[in-house]
Amino acid sequence: MNRAELVDSVADATGQPKSEVSRTLGALVHTVTGALAKGDKVTLVGFGTFERRNRKARIGRNPRTLAPLKIAAAKVPAFRAGKELKDIVNGRAKQPMLSIAKSSKSAPSKAAKKAKAAKKKPAAKKAKKGGKKR
């Protein structure tokens, strides 16, 4: 599943517009990325934990020449799945039904109806000033 498919799926499940879901997903990714860059952990109970891990410097090998080369130390993002996610993926538990209350749209106000009606009416043509040119 790619980002567009994820946005479609969440929009269908929640009844929200795809543009709003896309902005929300973007904000989530941005926030998690910022927290990891600062060294914080982000824990979503039941889903998992995003964290930053330190990878030590090591000696590797160039696969073409087999010459040794130094690989620098790095900070890498990591995800550790939560127990509930692991159980669902392994078939030990069933995924719970999604219980998101759909927002009920109230009737549009009189001002909104007037604005909508005004947009539908064609604009009056402006009369030309002056008359015929010589």
Fold of 3-103: HU Protein; Chain A (4.10.520)
For the chain, the structural domain boundaries read 3-103
The model carries a pTM of: 0.65
pLDDT in tens, 52-92: 999 999 999 999 999 999 999 999 999 999 999 999 999 98
51 contacts 80 by C-beta, under 8 angstroms: yes
pLDDT at 115: 53
pLDDT at residue 51 greater than cutoff 80: yes
Instruction: Tell me the C-alpha distance between 37 and 77, whole Å.
Output: 9
Among candidates 38, 75, 35, which has minimal Cα distance to 54?
Answer: 75
Mean pLDDT in the chain? 83
Q: Which residues, at least 6 apart from 27, have a Cβ–Cβ distance to it below 8 Å?
A: none
pLDDT in tens, 19-33: 999 999 999 999 999
